[in-house]
Amino acid sequence: MTEEILNKAAEDAVRLFKSGYSCSEAVLLSFETNTEKCFSEDAKRGMSAYVEGLSGSGCICGALSGGVFVLSTLGGRLTRDEPIDKLKTAVRTFHDDFRKEFSSACCRVITAKSAKLFGIGKYSTCPLTVEFCIRNIMKLAAENGWIK
């Protein structure tokens, strides 16, 4: 995975977010645009509920949960007999790295800190979370052989 591809995916994700897509939608759509993965209309619609930490509840960050969904579509299973060890490791790594970067996985905590630190609006950190998530899921997907 080249830095050029990661930079383009990050730019696309931030642009999509700033154009009105939620953080989870921006992550999924940027992943689709910058890889050979195609998501169904149902999957794309499904991302809409992850906005503002699960539909405004402020819980898990939408960019993080959207990234977990994307990874799961790549490394998940169709039958109970298929192993998911690689997926679990990738998602745990993604989650732990996200928490290290943003001090929380919770939308309400991240956005509250953003408003206090930057003083420019509750969602000013969201472009950073979107960029972090797309970069990291693309790296993890490539490392696990799920994408080229």
Q: What is the pLDDT of residues 8-59, one digit of tens each?
A: 999 999 999 999 999 999 999 999 999 999 999 999 999 998 876 777 666 8
> Residue 148: inside a domain, yes or no?
no
Residue 92, pLDDT > 80, answer: yes
For residue 133, being part of any structural domain is answered with yes
The domain containing residue 49 runs over which residues? 3-143
pLDDT band at 4 (very low <50, low <70, confident <90, very high): very high
pTM: 0.91
Looking at residue 113, its pLDDT comes to 66
Contact between 93 and 140 under an 8 Å Cβ cutoff? The reply is yes
- The single residue listed with the structure tokens 């696309």 is 12
Give alpha helix (H) positions in the chain.
Answer: 3-18, 23-34, 41-46, 51-54, 62-75, 85-102, 107-118, 126-143
- Asked whether residue 68 is assigned to any structural domain, the reply reads yes
Q: Decide if 145 contacts 78 (C-beta within 8 A).
A: no
Q: How many domains does the chain have?
A: 1
Q: Average model confidence (pLDDT) for the chain?
A: 90
Q: Residues 136, 97: contact at Cβ < 8 Å?
A: yes
The reply to whether 88 falls in a domain is yes
Tell me the mean pLDDT in the region 100-127. Answer: 74
